[in-house]
Amino acid sequence: MIPVLLVTVPLLAAAGLLVPAARRVVRGYGLAVSGLVLGLSIALAATFDYARPAAVQAEVDVAWTPGLDLRFHLGVDGISLPLVVLTALLTALCFVYLAGRPSRRMRALTVALLVLEAGMLGTFVALDLLLFFVFFEVVLVPMYFVIAVWGGPGRRAAAVKFILYTLLGSAVLLLGLLLIWAQTGTLDMVDLARTHGSGMSRGAQILAFVAVAGGLAVKAPMWPLHTWLPDAHTEAPTVGSVLLAGVLLKMGTYGLARVAVPVLPQGAEAVAPWLGAFAVIGIVYGSLACLAQRDLKRMIAFSSVGHMGFVLLGFATLTPVGMNAALFGNVAHGLITGLLFFLAGGVKDRYGTSDMTRLGGGMLGRLPYLGSLLTFAAVASLGLPGLAGFWGEMLALLGAFSPGAGLSRPLYLVFMAIGGLGTVLTAAYFLVMLSRVTHGRPDARWRDARLPDVTGYELAAWSPLVALTLVIGLWPKSLLLVTDPAVRVLLGVVP
């Protein structure tokens, strides 16, 4: 029952805000609703049976459109549970952040964010292909408005590019899903995953995989389909960037784990080397692009291209360890990049710019707490062991070291080597950024500016991310425990 509530509570709450009388309570409203949803997701995690994480739990399965054999089928397993909690957490933290720094047109923003939350959670709990697609699309509309209304100076163009590009991806995705339906006669994701694509010819699988993975790759984003992302992230308001990076990108990779790889194994095997190649190109390309960025927000946006490259590389190995890596990387990237965007937003709020040359440097001297948090987040993002970012990258490389059966080992060794080089470049751009922004002496132009250090609201919004980054980094078993058995079942590998 909880999955239904996860979707309906934010939707109904958003609808409730349309009542004119709600105008006055708006500030605490979003916080309360998202807190409730977070509580629900924690209740879901608490009641989850960790002895059998591969099984779908808290399942709801009722007929929806019987004529088309569509079912309202929701549930969670080890693959989706971490993402559900992550989504609920990040949304709630966004509202905490907004409570401390109210935005203009707060009511509209709250509605948009709540609808967004419903769509995001729905995507992760849907177990029917068409339902999955519907939620996947629901997300686009509120995000479009978040960027277009509350964004920076170039928001219109960025928002249009975002929605057109991702809609194009969705169209391709829908074609792939329909092809699967036409071939197998079912839309039930659990059934489809169980049969591992039996009943589909190799050619059909390849075609369907290219369409599905191609559509999802836009969202992930995979190089070279990434160019909507830097603009969208840079122009989006802080909460938009956080949810965009923290959750929306994960919907693409989640789809790969849930639909593309398990349902179309032969297609995956044929296309995986290409996926791997694009992934490692993305890693190096993203890192190089970051190295030459001048804008902090844009740099963090590009860093997502590199990090999601590791996630895609994990999938491309078609091994349990690679899948675990991808799912781990998803959660870690959500936490860390979410934090990074929060911090970048904090910087922009104070200095009025996120241009690194204008910022000057010396933040550790001027704003020691903000500077320290930025250092922490950057170091976590560059994959320091003991923090969350490391395990996903390390396991993806380990997967590439011995890829799945039927994949060319030498090719994947090359991928691994390039990926390893990418980790050095990643460290390079983050350290250069830290050096430019946090080290050195404060620039003279900020001498008389009033720059308050981290506020209580900000601390409340950020410290859960810091704590989780530490906990998952020091105790990776907390996530692998849930994902590993589920991944083995999805790949048809009996432990």
Partner 1 sequence: MGLVALVVGLPFAGALIGIFAGRRAAPYLAVIPTGAALLISAWLAYAQAAAGPREATLTLVETGSVPISVSLGLDGLSALVGVLVTVVATAVQTYSIGYMRQEPRYASYAAFISLFTSAMLLVVHAADLLVLYVGWEVMGFCSYALIGHFWEDRANSRAAIKAFLVTRLGDVGFLFGIFVLGISAGSFRIGDVLAAVPAMSPGTLVAATLLLVAGVAGKSAQVPLHTWLPDAMAGPTPISALIHAATMVAAGIFIVARLYPAFVAAPPTLDLLAVLAALGMLGAALAALAADDLKRVLAYSTVSQLAYMAAGLAAGTRDGAVFHLLTHGAFKALLFLCAGAVIHAVGSNLMTDMGGLRRGLPVTFPAMTIGFAALMGLPPASGFFSKDVIIAVTEHTAGGEGAPLTIWIAWLVYGVALVTVAVTAAYSTRAWLRTFFGVRRPDLAAHEGPASMVVPIAVLAVPALLLGFAGLPFAGLRPDLPSSLLSVGASLAGAVVVWTAWRRDPESDPARVLGPLRPAAEQAFYVDRAYHALFVRPVAALARLTVRADDRVVDGAVRGSGRTAVGAGGLLRRLQAGNAQAYVTGVLAGVLIITVGVVVLR
CB burial string 405-414: b at 16+ within 10 A, e below: eebeeeebee
Rounded to a whole number of angstroms, the minimum distance from the CB of residue 153 to partner 1 is: 18
Rounded to 5 degrees, φ, ψ at 405 are: -60, 140
Asked if 106 touches partner 1 (CB under 8 A), the answer is no
Enumerate residues 409-468 that contact partner 1 by CB under 8 A: 416-417, 420-421, 423-425, 427-428, 431-432, 435, 438-441
Question: Contact letters (x/-) for partner 1, 271-310, by CB under 8 A?
Answer: --------------x--xxxxxx-----------------
Please report, to the nearest 10 degrees, the dihedral formed by the alpha carbons of residues 19, 23, 26, 30 taken in order: 20
Rounded to a whole number of angstroms, the minimum distance from the CB of residue 258 to partner 1 is: 17
Identify the residue among 15, 32, 164, 467 touching partner 1 (CB under 8 A). Answer: 164
70: β partners: 65
Asked if 91 touches partner 1 (CB under 8 A), the answer is no
Please report, to the nearest 10 degrees, the dihedral formed by the alpha carbons of residues 334, 338, 341, 347 taken in order: -150
Asked if 320 touches partner 1 (CB under 8 A), the answer is yes
Of 236, 238, 213, nearest to 225 by C-alpha is 213
Rounded to 5 degrees, φ, ψ at 409 are: -65, -45
Residues in contact with partner 1, counted by CB under 8 A, come to a total of: 58
Question: Contact letters (x/-) for partner 1, 346-365, by CB under 8 A?
Answer: ----------------x-xx
Please, which residue, 178 or 432, has the CB nearer to partner 1?
432
Radius of gyration from C-alpha coordinates of the chain: 21
Q: In the 3-class helix/strand/coil scheme, how is 141-210 assigned residue by residue?
A: HHHHHHHHHHCCCCHHHHHHHHHHHHHHHHHHHHHHHHHHHHHHCCCEHHHHHHHCCCCCCHHHHHHHHH
Q: Is 367 helix (H, G, I), strand (E, B) or coil?
A: coil
Q: Is 239 helix (H, G, I), strand (E, B) or coil?
A: helix
Answer yes or no: are the C-beta atoms of 420 and 285 closer than 8 Å. no
Rounded to a whole number of angstroms, the minimum distance from the CB of residue 435 to partner 1 is: 5
Please, which residue, 117 or 295, has the CB nearer to partner 1?
295
76-84, 146-154, 232-240, 380-388 -> range binding partner 1 (CB under 8 A): 380-388
Please enumerate in sequence order all residues whose Cβ is within 8 A of that of 107, keeping only pairs 6 or more positions apart, or say none. 17, 22, 23, 26
User: Following DSSP, what letter does each residue of 370-435 receive, concatenated?
Assistant: HHHHHHHHHHHHTT-TTSHHHHHHHHHHHHHHSPPTTS-HHHHHHHHHHHHHHHHHHHHHHHHHHH
Rounded to a whole number of angstroms, the minimum distance from the CB of residue 300 to partner 1 is: 15
Asked if 171 touches partner 1 (CB under 8 A), the answer is no
Asked if 471 touches partner 1 (CB under 8 A), the answer is no
Rounded to a whole number of angstroms, the minimum distance from the CB of residue 427 to partner 1 is: 5
Asked if 386 touches partner 1 (CB under 8 A), the answer is yes
Please, which residue, 178 or 451, has the CB nearer to partner 1?
451
Rounded to a whole number of angstroms, the minimum distance from the CB of residue 2 to partner 1 is: 27
> How far apart (Å, rounded) are the C-alpha atoms in residues 421 and 284?
8
Rounded to a whole number of angstroms, the minimum distance from the CB of residue 139 to partner 1 is: 21
Asked if 343 touches partner 1 (CB under 8 A), the answer is no
Name the residues that contact partner 1, by CB under 8 A. Answer: 161, 164-165, 224, 226-228, 285, 288-293, 319-324, 362, 364-365, 379, 384-386, 390, 394-395, 397-399, 401-402, 416-417, 420-421, 423-425, 427-428, 431-432, 435, 438-441, 476-477, 480-481, 484, 487-488
